[in-house]
């Protein structure tokens, strides 16, 4: 190979942290490596960036190839460049992350037949490379983001109860929230439209249903706010 600039260059990879919401559990999508280094160990899906594709394209391609998961909105997280992070050679990795509804993204047979699975975030196996660190960074970013951007549009059914919405926040933040306080704050943002409907087919007292005000939701996504929960 010849380059315009002949000097030793780092290899460039992408890694994907895909969080999946599964009722009241937050999971992360991992693959089991079949090659050295870390053969047999679990790791984040990812791989080398082709010289003619964008970083986003590489991330989406690797995710599909290794897990079968597609149509995920990947957001750039951070670029990890410690000199010794890969035992093979110098590898710099641009990490991406996403949050999806797990039921929409069951793991399919991946094209390269690697094993892929969802793990509860509290119970992940020991990961190869610096992937534990990448995962922790993504988890922290996700919890931070909940505080200044609305959450739930693509994660809840179109009509939902305040209990469902609170559970969503509790799952991501990994702590219980005060019900009265949560309701007061979330309703105060004007993000929700109260419907003239209640839940059906429930054993307990049927709760009021809500839906998001799409316009307000988009505005708050853009502007940000502060949800002190």
Among 79, 103, 108, 181, binds its own copies (CB under 8 A): 79
Residue 8 binding its own copies, by CB under 8 A: yes
Give the torsion sign (CA, 213, 220, 137, 143).
negative
Residue 181 binding its own copies, by CB under 8 A: no
Catalytic, 75? Answer no
Among 25, 38, 41, 55, binds its own copies (CB under 8 A): 55
- The distance of closest approach from Cβ of residue 111 to its own copies in the complex, given in angstroms and rounded to an integer, is 19
Which phi and psi angles does 13 have, rounded to 5°? Answer: -125, 170
Integer angstrom CA distances of residue 225 from 10, 146, 203: 39, 10, 36
99 or 146: CB nearest its own copies: 146
76 or 111: CB nearest its own copies: 76
13 or 166: CB nearest its own copies: 13
Residue 201 binding its own copies, by CB under 8 A: no
Residue 40 binding its own copies, by CB under 8 A: no
User: How many chain residues are in contact with its own copies, going by CB under 8 A?
Assistant: 37
Do 137 and 78 touch, CB atoms closer than 8 A?
yes
CA dist., res. 82 & res. 218, Å (int): 37
214 or 225: CB nearest its own copies: 225
- The distance of closest approach from Cβ of residue 97 to its own copies in the complex, given in angstroms and rounded to an integer, is 14
Q: Which residues of 41-71 are buried (b: 16+ CB within 10 A; e: fewer)?
A: bbbbbbbebeeeeebeebbbbbbbebbebee
Residue 10 binding its own copies, by CB under 8 A: yes
Q: Where are the beta strands (DSSP E) in the chain?
A: 11-22, 25-32, 42-43, 46-48, 75-80, 91-101, 115-120, 192-198, 208-212
Instruction: Catalytic residue, from 56, 65, 75, 115: name it.
Output: 115
**Of the listed pieces 6-14, 103-111, 155-163, 166-174, which binds its own copies according to CB under 8 A?**
6-14
Do 69 and 105 touch, CB atoms closer than 8 A?
yes
CA dist., res. 82 & res. 145, Å (int): 25
Residue 188 binding its own copies, by CB under 8 A: no
Helix intervals (H) in the chain: 55-67, 131-145, 162-173, 179-188, 214-223
Binding site for its own copies (CB under 8 A): 1, 3-12, 48-49, 51-56, 76, 78-79, 81-83, 88-90, 92, 94, 144, 147-148, 224-226, 228
Catalytic positions are 115
């Amino acid at each position: 190979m010849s380059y315009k600039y002949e000097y030793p260059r780092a290899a460039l990879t992408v890694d994907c942290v895909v969080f999946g919401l599964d009722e009241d559990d937050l999971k992360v999508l991992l693959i089991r490596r079949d090659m050295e280094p870390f053969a047999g160990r679990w790791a984040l899906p990812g791989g080398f960036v082709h010289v003619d594709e964008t970083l986003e394209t590489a991330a989406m391609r690797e995710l599909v190839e290794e897990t079968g998961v597609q149509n995920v909105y990947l957001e750039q997280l951070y670029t990890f460049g410690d000199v010794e992070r890969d035992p093979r050679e110098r590898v710099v990795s641009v990490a991406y992350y996403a949050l999806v509804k797990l039921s929409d993204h069951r793991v399919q047979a991946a094209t390269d037949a690697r094993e892929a699975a969802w793990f509860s975030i509290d119970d992940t196996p020991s990961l190869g490379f610096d992937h534990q660190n990448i995962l922790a960074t993504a988890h922290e970013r996700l919890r931070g983001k909940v505080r200044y951007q609305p959450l739930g549009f693509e994660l809840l059914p179109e009509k939902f109860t305040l209990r469902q919405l609170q559970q969503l926040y509790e799952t991501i933040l990994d702590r219980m929230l005060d019900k009265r306080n949560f309701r007061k704050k979330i309703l105060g943002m004007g993000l929700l439209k109260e419907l003239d409907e209640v839940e059906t087919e429930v054993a307990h007292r049927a709760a009021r249903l809500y839906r998001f005000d799409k316009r307000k939701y988009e505005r708050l996504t853009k502007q940000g706010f502060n949800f002190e929960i």
